[in-house]
Structure formats: structure tokens, C-alpha cells
Structure 1
Amino acid sequence: MRVRRGLIVAVLSVCTVLVSAFTASAQTEHYSRYVALGDSYTAGPLIPLQRLDPLGCLRSTSDYPAQLALRLLVPSFTDVSCSGADTTDMTAPQQVTLGTNPPQLDALRADTDLVTLGIGGNDYGVFGTLVGTCPGLRASDPTGNPCQRQFTVDGVDTMKAKISQTQGNITAVLTEIHRRSPQAKVLAIGYPRIAPPSGTCPNVLPFADGDYAWLNSVEEALNQAVAKAAADSGSSYVDTFGPSLGHDACAGAAAWINGKDLKLTAAPYHPNFAGMTGLAAIIQAALA
């Protein structure tokens, strides 16, 4: 009896989600050809089920583009996002383990009418540098901000300086998207919140206490660069940082971002399935 009750509750929950998605879909403009471009925050490394085209892109069949395409009932959907991609991989092949991802912009057509782009975090190695360096510095000053000090040279925040250069790269990509698909609605997708606005969780997000605020400021700078690039190119910016409040890596069961530990269903410091679902809902709402 308990098992039967549990199954009924599970089925009803799934039905409620689907009804909500399809109801929202009816309120959204209809799109026929959707192309998704981006890096690992778009591709969804390790989120089941992973695609094999190529395997090294770690692209999930449940990433936010796939969920958005389902919500919008799009007849034609192409997802060429790839983990590790930066803006140069939009126009050049990206070499990955066991294969090559073609230039992502090659997926665009003249009749493409919806494009999402999530890119910028890997330009100049910003994201990889942060997660590769900051956790190792925590032990030297657990309550301070050793990572911020590490990347501040002569009073200049070198991470944010790199991000200011990234803005131009994203603008160029968005401009090219419009050239190749002139009828498309083009959305530049921001990055969701990784760290909470206050408090810490060093067992999950092993940054020094004072570096949490700095991590947030770096991510906000990146999102501002994406937003300005969208404005400069005539695209639309979708904020995911604000709406993901309460879903950071420290949020426990409500987290949309995985912490430091590698899981079978999510890569370290990357969105999990719940995060991809949340992002799809945010983007759908933006379209509506």
C-alpha cells in the first residue's frame, strides 16, 4: 500500500510538472528551429544521459537546452554546446577527448529562429583558474581572502580585467549569430549563482570565508559582461544569477550547483539536473 501510494504521488508530481511546462508553452511564442550554443554550464557534464557526439563534450540529453526544447515543443532542435568551450570555439573546431566538436556557429541556418548562447566563463581561463586555485589557498588563511589577494596585482583585480576583455569576444559571437540567422531571437544566457550571498560551506565549496564575496563579485562581473554584450549586439540577456538565489552550492537539497565532489550525476562546480531544470524554466519565462 505504501509503495502504491508513493508511486501515485510520484506520477502526480511528474504530471504537474509537465502540465505546468505545457501551459507555459502555450503562452510562449512558437519557434520552429532552435540552436543551443555554449560551454559546460550549457552542456551539463555527467548529468544523465550523456551524448556521444562527441563523448568529450560531456553533453547531456537533459541539459537546459534539451529541457527548453521540450517545454517549447520545438520541431527542430540542435544542441552543439561543449564542455570547455570558449568564444574561439564558436568559429573553430574544438578538440576534445575521443573526437572533435565542429565550430558551433556552423549549426546555424538562415531559418533558425531561436538561439541560446551560454559562453564566456572559459575565456582567458577564468573559471578553471578560480576553481583550480582558490580551494588550495583556503588552508593558508581560512577566514581571509587569499584567492582575491593572489589575483590582485598592483591594485588591479586580474580576473575582472580578463572579464572586461571577454565582453568584446561575446559581442563578436552574438553579432555573427545575427548575421548567420537574421530572423532568430537570440538569448545570451547568464551564469547561475555558485556561492551564497552570506554564510559559507567549506565542505562543499572550499573557498576561504572572505573569498565567497569576491567569487560572487567576479561572477557578477562576468554576467555584466554578458549583459553588455547582449545589449551591444541587439540580443536579449537572460539573468540566471538573481533567480538562482537560494540554489547556490551551499543550499543542500535545493542546490542547483554541485560542490567540489565529483558525482556520477554532476561535475564539480557545475549545474546538476535540478539546476538545468531551473535554468530551462527561467529562460522559458523570459521568452514568455
Structure 2
Amino acid sequence: MQRHPFLAALAAVPLLFCAAPAGAAPADTPPRYAALGDSYAAGVAAGAYDPASGDCHRSANAYPALWAADHGAAGFLSAACGGATTEDVRSGQLPRVDADTTVLTLTVGGNDLGFAGAATDCLQPLTTEARCTATLDESARRLREELPGRLSGLYDAVRAAAPAARVVVTGYPHLLRTGTTCLIGTDARRVRFNALTDELDELIRDRADAHGFAFADVRTAFDGHGVCAGGGQEWITGIVLPRLWESFHPTPDGQSLGYLPAVTAATGPR
């Protein structure tokens, strides 16, 4: 996704995470929380942007800011940024994380696959089947050949930077409702786009499990709330004009009713 897409969340004080294995803080100790990732963690399209976050577009309505407020975080850092890839998180966000972080959340991977370009080539009007197919084929190749190693390298670096943190890695929702009449792509394109999201989420889950991290799966919560759902049920934005960088991102409801409950469940009891 663009230096916007799959696409981050609120800047404040440096700090970080809750119950970890050995040496974890007691359950009643306020967490020191760090949120890393791309536009989905930053809160692109959720409004209430922090002016200091610039083009990262971190929102007070994003799940990290909501989680920090709900849990009375003693310290809260959101370094998430629209358009961030795994390498951006590793080189530009992770160095800001303190070693005494007790809870760390991470949403990243979509931009490594070029999901913003895939949305442009498959879901906007007047794009051809050939162009959409080629773009999704390339995203699938990156997912299978490049992303496993990138995620593993990043997760290793996360554990080294925050050794006592409980780490929660999130997946992505299905962006699109299928089986409906809709002007956003064809139904076949929407089906394949969602299938690629499933493959991405299962890879993220697998790599998270291998590193001892929790996985927050948001697909069930978002079921029936993708673009083309109609009836005011959409928790994902469609094509947003003139702010195209807000297209295909969670709305405030998507952040508070989709992402937040999944992340809260994965971080464990307050």
C-alpha cells in the first residue's frame, strides 16, 4: 500500500508491554506499551490524526491508542506509519522501543506484497483482468518467496529489542465482501484478493507461533463488514476521493470493533 496503505496510530512517550515469560511485571502493573507497524496500526482513514505524525497519519482512533487508554499504559509509544514495510519497522521504528517494554503490538506485511498497487490494479474501475492477474501473481510470489524470511528476521529483532515483552502480531481483515453486486472490482477479483489475504494471515500466524508471539486474527470480527457490504455495515473504506491514501483501510468502527477486541484478547487479562 502506498506510503499510506495495508495499511498507523499516535506518537507519545517512548514505552512498552505486559505479561511475558520469566521476569514479567505483575498483572496489576500498568503496561509499558509500544505499537509498531503500517497504516493499519497507525489508523489511516480513522481520522483524528496527530499533526506531529505527518505523513504517517497516526490516529487517536487507532487500536494502539485505544488499547493504551483502556489499559492505563504507564508509557505509550506508537511508531506505526502508513506505508511501512517490514524493513521500515526494523530500521526506523524498532530502534525507538525501550528494553523495558512489557507489551508490544505489530501489524506489518501488506506493503511488502505491494497491496496498495494490487488495490489500484484490481479494485478501481477500468483496470483489465490481465493487469489485475499479473499484479496478484507478483504479490503471491513475494508472499511465498520473500516474506517468510523478512518476517522471521523482524521477529528476531523484536524479541532482542524487547526481551520481556508480550508480543502480539495482528493479521489483516478481508477488505471486500464477496457475492454482492458492487462497483469495486469484479466478484472474482474480490474473491482472489481475500484469498491472498488469508494466505498472508496464515503466514503471519505461522511465523508468530514459531517465535512465541501471540497472533490476533481479525477476520472473524470483520466478517460481513468489508467494502461492498452495503447497508452502512462497512468497516473498511472504499475508494476515497480526493484522499486516495485513505482507501481500503479500517474506519473508526473497524479499529474499535474489529482490531481492538482481537488485540485485547491476545494480550491477555488486564
**Cα distance between partner residues in 2 of 1:201 and 1:129:** 20
Aligned counterpart in structure 2 of residue 170 of structure 1, from 129, 145, 151: 151
**Letter paired with 2:68:** A
| CA distance in structure 2 between the aligned counterparts of 1:235 and 1:197, rounded to whole angstroms | 31
Contact 1:91 1:106 in 2 (8 A): yes
Residue 40 of structure 2 is matched in structure 1 by: 41
Separation (CA, whole Å) in 1 of partners of 2:186 and 2:29: 46
- On the 8 A contact 1:34/1:69 being kept in 2, the answer is yes
| Contact 2:33 2:77 (C-alpha < 8 Å) held by counterparts | yes
> Is contact 2:173-2:218 (8 Å) kept?
yes
1:91 to 1:208, Cα distance in 2 relative to 1, 3 A: same
Residue 216 of structure 2 corresponds to: 238
Q: How far apart, CA to CA, are the structure 2 residues paired with 1:29 and 1:186?
A: 18
Percent of residue pairs identical: 28
Counterpart code for 1:280: L
Q: Which residue of 1 aligns with 2:134?
A: 150
User: Residue 267 of structure 2 corresponds to which residue in structure 1?
Assistant: 287
What CA distance in whole angstroms lies between the structure 1 residues aligned with 2:29 and 2:254? 24
Q: Which residue of 2 aligns with 1:131?
A: 119
Gap runs ≥5 in structure 1: 1-27, 93-102
Distance 1:172 1:242 in 2: 28
TM-score, normalised via structure 2 length: 0.81
Cα offset, 1:146, TM superposition: 4.7
Question: How far did residue 179 of structure 1 move?
Answer: 0.8
Alignment check: 8 A CA contact 2:101 2:164 kept: yes
1:270 aligns with one of 225, 249, 264: 249
Instruction: Name the residue aligned to 1:107.
Output: 96
Q: Is the 8 Å Cα contact of residues 117 and 135 (structure 2) preserved in structure 1?
A: no
**CA shift at 1:86, angstroms?**
0.3
| Aligned residue number for residue 70 of structure 1 | 69
Aligned equivalents of 1:151, 1:263: Cα separation in 2 = 24
Letter in 2 for 1:194: L
Alignment partner, residue 84 of structure 1? 83
The two structures have a TM-score, normalised by structure 1, of 0.76
For 2:133, the aligned partner's letter is R
Q: State the match for 2:4 in structure 1.
A: none
C-alpha separation in 2, matches of 1:259 and 1:134: 13
Asked if 2 retains the 8 angstrom alpha-carbon contact of 1:256 and 1:271, the reply is yes
The answer to which structure, 1 or 2, has the higher relative contact order (CA under 8 A, 6+ apart) is: 2
Tell me the secondary structure at the aligned position of residue 259 of structure 1: coil
Q: CA deviation at 1:151?
A: 4.0
AA partner of residue 47 (structure 2): P
| Residue identity in the other structure for 1:217 | A
| Amino acid in structure 2 at the alignment position of 1:35 | A
**1:168 CA displacement:** 1.8
SS in structure 1 of the partner of residue 154 of structure 2: helix
Distance 1:224 1:29, change over 3 A: farther
- Partner of 1:186 in structure 2? 167
Q: Unmatched 5+ residue regions in structure 2?
A: 1-26
The offset of 1:158, in angstroms, is: 2.8
- 1:226 corresponding residue in structure 2: 204
Aligned-partner residue type, residue 198 of structure 1: G
Alpha-carbon displacement from aligned partner over 1:189-208 (angstroms, at most 9, x marks no partner): 10112012432421xxx212
Q: Describe the shift of the 1:29–1:269 C-alpha distance in structure 2 as closer, same or farther (beyond 3 A).
A: farther
